[in-house]
């Protein structure tokens, strides 16, 4: 009897320790997001481009325009940029409104993951653990939740749609789910791989509901595609479908294996093992609808992460949908295992319950998930370096082509240019007309016709074909360097680790030596 009391106390202690650990990840993320919210420079090297997109919308300009050195849009659907522009209307153009959209969306994702598990298990504790595990993936998925990019907003809309599908059964709820998943697509095309598993689930469980869902999503997705393509003179389909479809040549075949052997299983050994046990339990206690839903949705969510991860440019942020699914299944499997052990007529059941708590603590304490939160927040030195870079840009006469961080040029009050990533993508995978146009514009710039100053990054960027580099090197000379207090100052925390550094001018022009 005394031994049972001791194991009972131990289980209680481990339970609240586990609760505290899960809560700490949520609190730490919220603190990081708050301190990064007001940082006036990019956290990730493409984030500044999102600000430019929102600014164009506010000024009444179209996003999807003919590619030029002046502006090339990202190859995403536009909803995040429109919502961010609406937020910028109240908070003024900058990073803050975009990050607010992402932060609110990420917190909404925490709540939806909690609600999924709570609704399924009637256990707030299990739901909170699931939400805490997702918060713990913040660093693992590239520290991306609060960045001014579409990912968190996309996931919020997607999870909202899946929640309605799972827990509501009326025809009107199917229409709402269709609207939500269509809005997810209008935020990021990654919603498409999940549509088929969702439709299949509805067809297998309630084919009448599937009709409402299919018609709603088809009308909105097809209708919006035709509408946006019409108002953008055909460029919408080019950026959203045609250009990304050419990225198949960037597929890294080894990632079919490393997605599982490096991205998914090692960081979640315990959670992954638990969810496999959870699925196997359906063979003992069959629940057809529940099994079909979570199996098919898992296929869709993992597919939504795998598809972009296969590409050479698919970095850790694409894993966020898979992490969200693992978190939901972790909460469900934790509750199911706990339920099995507590129902046992055995003196050892408290030990088994304590064992489950220990396993979960080991999962939360995994070296893959733990991180130093102070490394996620830009320093005062980063802030000062950014201000100094803006001052340097203002001192330079004429236009400045800074392809890795074009938003900095606009902050300095000068004419902006397209981002390096989009220039590169269109030069390599764009159609023949686009490639020729951009190539000619670059050659004209490099031959000094616009008398531009060109500033390249610290990563020895090689984003242009060799023939264009030849023209650049024949006509431009290195005139100065932007110096920094240390090796890491003003480099983005996420994405490509680069900063403005090397100043080039036309060989025929002499300017001041821009050294700090």
For tokens 């909202």, the residue is 160
First to last CA, the chain: 75
Q: Nearest to residue 505, comparing CAs of 389, 400, 393?
A: 400
Residues 380-412: pLDDT tens digits? 999 999 999 999 999 998 899 999 999 999 999
pLDDT at residue 511 in the model: 47
Q: Give the distance from CA 236 to its chain's centroid.
A: 21
Position 281 pLDDT exceeds 90 = no
Average pLDDT over residues 120-141: 96
Position 373 pLDDT exceeds 90 = yes
Position 36 pLDDT exceeds 90 = yes
Torsion, Cα 471 474 476 482, to 10 degrees, reads: 90
Residues 315-350: pLDDT tens digits? 899 999 999 999 999 999 999 998 888 776 666 777
Can you read off the two tokens belonging to residue 361?
């603590």
Rg over CA atoms, the chain: 25
In contact, 408 and 389? CB cutoff 8 Å: yes
Residue spans per domain, the chain: 2-375, 379-506
Q: Nearest to residue 190, comparing CAs of 92, 285, 314?
A: 314
Query: Is the pTM above the cut of 0.85?
Result: yes
Average pLDDT over residues 356-379: 93
Can you read off the two tokens belonging to residue 362?
């080991």
Residues 62-100: pLDDT tens digits? 999 999 999 999 999 999 999 999 999 998 889 999 999
Residue 39 CA neighbour count, 13 Å, CB half: 30
Position 250 pLDDT exceeds 80 = no
pLDDT at residue 346 in the model: 63
């Amino acid at each position: 009897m005394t031994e049972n009391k001791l194991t009972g106390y131990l289980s209680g202690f481990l339970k609240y320790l586990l609760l505290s650990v899960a809560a700490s990840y949520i609190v730490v993320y919220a603190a990081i997001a708050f301190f990064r919210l007001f940082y006036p420079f990019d956290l990730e090297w493409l984030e500044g481009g999102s600000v430019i997109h929102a600014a164009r919308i506010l000024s009444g300009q179209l996003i999807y325009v003919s590619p030029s050195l002046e502006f090339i849009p990202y190859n995403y659907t536009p909803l995040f940029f429109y919502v961010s522009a609406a937020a910028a209307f109240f908070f003024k153009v900058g990073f803050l409104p975009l990050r607010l959209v992402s932060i609110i969306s990420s917190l909404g994702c925490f709540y939806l993951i909690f609600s999924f598990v709570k609704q399924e298990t009637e256990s707030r504790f299990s739901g909170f653990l699931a939400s805490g595990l997702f918060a713990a993936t913040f660093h693992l998925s590239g520290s991306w939740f609060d960045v001014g990019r579409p990912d968190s907003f996309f996931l919020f809309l997607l999870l909202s749609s899946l929640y309605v599908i799972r827990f509501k059964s009326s025809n009107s709820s199917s229409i709402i789910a269709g609207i939500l998943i269509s809005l997810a697509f209008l935020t990021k095309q990654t919603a498409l791989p999940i549509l088929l598993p969702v439709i299949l689930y509805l067809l297998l469980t309630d084919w009448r509901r599937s009709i409402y869902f299919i018609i709603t999503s088809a009308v909105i997705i097809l209708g919006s595609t035709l509408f946006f393509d019409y108002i953008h003179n055909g460029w919408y389909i080019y950026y959203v479908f045609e250009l990304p479809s050419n990225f198949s040549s960037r597929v890294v075949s080894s990632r079919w294996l490393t997605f599982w052997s490096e991205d998914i299983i090692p960081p979640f050994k315990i959670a992954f093992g638990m969810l496999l046990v959870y699925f196997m339990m359906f063979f003992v206690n069959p629940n057809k609808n529940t099994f079909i839903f979570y199996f098919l949705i898992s296929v869709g969510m993992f597919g939504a992460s795998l598809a972009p991860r296969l590409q050479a440019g698919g970095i850790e942020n694409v894993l966020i949908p898979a992490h969200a699914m693992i978190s939901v299944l972790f909460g469900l499997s934790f509750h199911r295992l706990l339920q099995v052990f507590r129902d046992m007529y055995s003196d050892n059941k408290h030990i088994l319950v304590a064992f489950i708590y220990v396993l979960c603590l080991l999962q939360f304490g995994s070296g893959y998930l733990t991180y130093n939160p102070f490394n996620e927040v830009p320093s005062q030195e980063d802030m000062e370096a950014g201000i100094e870079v803006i001052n340097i840009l203002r001192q330079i006469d004429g236009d400045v082509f800074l392809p890795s961080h074009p938003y900095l040029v606009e902050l300095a009050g000068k004419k902006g240019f397209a981002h390096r990533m989009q220039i590169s993508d269109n030069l390599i995978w764009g159609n023949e007309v686009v490639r020729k146009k951009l190539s000619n514009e670059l050659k004209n710039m490099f031959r000094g016709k616009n008398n531009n100053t060109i500033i390249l990054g610290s990563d020895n960027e090689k984003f242009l074909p060799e023939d264009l580099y030849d023209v650049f090197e024949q006509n431009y000379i290195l005139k100065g360097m932007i110096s920094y207090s240390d090796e890491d100052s003003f480099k983005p925390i996420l994405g490509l680790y680069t900063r403005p550094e090397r100043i080039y001018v036309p060989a025929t022009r002499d300017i001041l030596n821009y050294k700090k």
